Structure formats: structure tokens, C-alpha cells
Amino acid sequence: LGQRRREAQFLCPEVRVLARDEGQEARRFEAVVSALGTVTPWVEARRPGRCSFGVRGPVRLFGGESALVRHTAEVVDAAVARIGAGVPVGAATGPGCQIGMADGAFAADLAARSGGAAPEHSVIVPRGGSPAFLGPIPVGVLLPVGSSVGSADGSSDLVDVLIRLGLTTLGAFAALPVADVLARFGTDGLDAHRLASGIDDRPVGHRPAPPDLAVSMAFDPPVDRIDRVAFAARSAAEALHERLSARGMACTRVVVEAETEHGQRVSRRWRDEGVLGSVAVADRVRWQLEGWLHGPPAVRPTSGITRLVLAPDEIVPASGRQ
């Protein structure tokens, strides 16, 4: 894990390198996220394989944090078994799902990644303990998952500067005065500082979005294949971005909704670390459509899609953000 491909091939010449198939990941992941709807209706997908939800209500419902983690792991394991891999529940040979619990999705994600297979090796950070948990973690985790050095969002530049200044851990960065961070790094740096501090992982100035910002597209005849709707999805994502930009706003959480020929409506919330630009929204629409149109039969719509809606669910001022 984390080893470079060339190094792995040198150490094990017979190793097979498989290209990542995000479409397949999205198709299978939709079954998992759909199953988690039995735990809470407020699941937020982030990327294929990663999602989060608030636990205040579920913890009370299932009788405590450990019980919630155990039940969630059982739901995920059962969903994976139903996908069709031929592996019975509880007999998986892989690492299984990883679950973390903390104050905020950022700390919870790091808690999940620092642990092992759930539920036995899940990491539950005590309430109020996120700053201490985050403190020794390297600042490199502030880079969004999947980003590359020199990415347009500026997070790689922020991390590079922090390292050059000797601020190599989240705790060291969090110790900086807020006013100094804002003056030196701007709004994006302030958002990263809040993540590192473990106090609130929602962007500064976040608010619900007015309904008139939503973008919709109709399909006649109905579509039932991803290649027939992918271009329209990109166009819708660009239209949403332009509509938000005209208001001086940016999107941090988007709802992808589809309506079928039979009147069925399905929807899913998506977010990522920071602002969702047009490319990020288009990726998430494509992943979601992969899950709906080509996923397991249990999660597929009953007929072709006649309408696609992208609705910003949470927005922030766009000033100072890329």
C-alpha cells in the first residue's frame, strides 16, 4: 500500500498491474451506498469507495457508537456479497470495509484509513478528540484524494509552502493564528486550517442553495446507456458551474437526481473536499449514472431516464476559491 509501481515491479517482476476502472467501481459502489440507506437517509458519496454520514441520530438508534459501527459493517458486507462476487457474507478474503468515527468527515475519513477491517479494527475518535487525533498526521493529507502536484485547486501549493516553513504536521499548521493563515493563504488556506484544527470541516460561509440554481435536462427518447447520456451530463455540469459563477457562488455538495419513464425518482448526494468545479461535478454525475444504469439489478431504475437534475445542495462564496 502506497508503494510506487516501478518499485513494486522491481521487487516482484511477475506482479500484474491492473488499470483502474472507475466505471466498474461506481457501478458496484452504488449498491453499497444504496444499502447504507437502511442506516441513515443522509449518506453523502465522495468518490467510488468512499462515503460519509452524520452519526448523531444513528448512534441513538442503534445503541451506541460501537453498535453503529458493527451494524454498518454488516450492511456493507452484505451489500458486497450481493453484488455477485460469489463470496458469502463474512467470508471475504480482502481487507473488507474500513470505518472511522470522529467530529467531522475529514477526521473520520483519516480515522477509517488509519484502522483496519471493520468492525474489529475500526477507529472511533472520542468526542472532542479530533484535534489531538489529527495533530501528528502529515500535512500531505490536505491534498484532495486523486489530485496531482500542480493541481488547479492550489492545495498542492499550500502543502509545499507549509513543508518549506517546517509545518509538517496538521497540529503545527493548526497552531498558527487564524488571522495569519487568512492573510498568507486566503480563503482556501483558512478552509484547510479548519480541517487541520478538527473544529469544523465545512467551508467558511457555507449555506443552503436556493432552488432556482438547479439545472435539468430532458431526454426523449429515454436513455438507458451511459454513453448516450455522458455528453449531456458534462453539459449540465458546465451549465451549473456557469449559473453559480454568475451569482458569485461555488458548490460544495450537489444532488444528482434522475426521473425515469415510469415516474420513478432516484437521487444521491455527492461532495468532496473543498469546492466542486465543473469537472468534479461531471465526474460525479458520470459515476452516479454508471451506478444507476449499469449497476446491480437491485439498484437500477425501472426504465430509461427521461430527466436529469443537478441541484447544488450547499454553496459558499466563490471569492478567493478556484
Question: Could you state, in chain order, the average pLDDT of each consecutive group of 10 residues for the chain (322 residues)?
Answer: 76 84 89 95 94 95 96 94 61 72 94 94 95 96 53 69 96 96 89 88 75 94 87 92 94 95 95 87 94 88 93 84 46
Report the distance separating Cα 114 and Cα 231, nearest Å: 38
Instruction: Please name every residue paired with 113 in a beta bridge, in sequence order, or none if there are none.
Output: none
User: How many CA atoms, within 13 angstroms, populate the side-chain half-sphere of residue 108?
Assistant: 19
Structural domain includes residue 1: no
* 169 and 219 fall within a common domain: no
Structural domain includes residue 26: yes
* 99 and 40 fall within a common domain: yes
* 35 and 117 fall within a common domain: yes
Structural domain includes residue 8: no
Structural domain includes residue 271: yes
pLDDT 10s digits, 263-304: 999 999 999 877 899 999 999 999 999 999 988 888 888 899
pLDDT 10s digits, 217-231: 999 999 998 888 888
Last residue of one domain, picked from the residues 197, 216, 235: 197
Last residue of one domain, picked from the residues 69, 92, 123: 123
Give the SS3 label for residue 45: strand
Domain that holds residue 163: 135-197
* 300 and 227 fall within a common domain: yes
Structural domain includes residue 128: no
pLDDT 10s digits, 177-211: 999 999 999 888 888 999 999 976 666 667 888 88
Structural domain includes residue 3: no
Give the sign of the dihedral formed by CA 101, CA 195, CA 209, CA 230.
Answer: negative
- Please tell me the chain's helix, strand, coil percentages from 3-state DSSP, rounded to the nearest 5: 45, 20, 35
> For the chain, how many structural domains are there in total?
3
Cell digits for 263? 415516474
Structural domain includes residue 9: no
* 282 and 256 fall within a common domain: yes
* 85 and 25 fall within a common domain: yes
| Cα separations in angstroms, 106 against 66, 121, 198, 288 | 20, 19, 8, 22
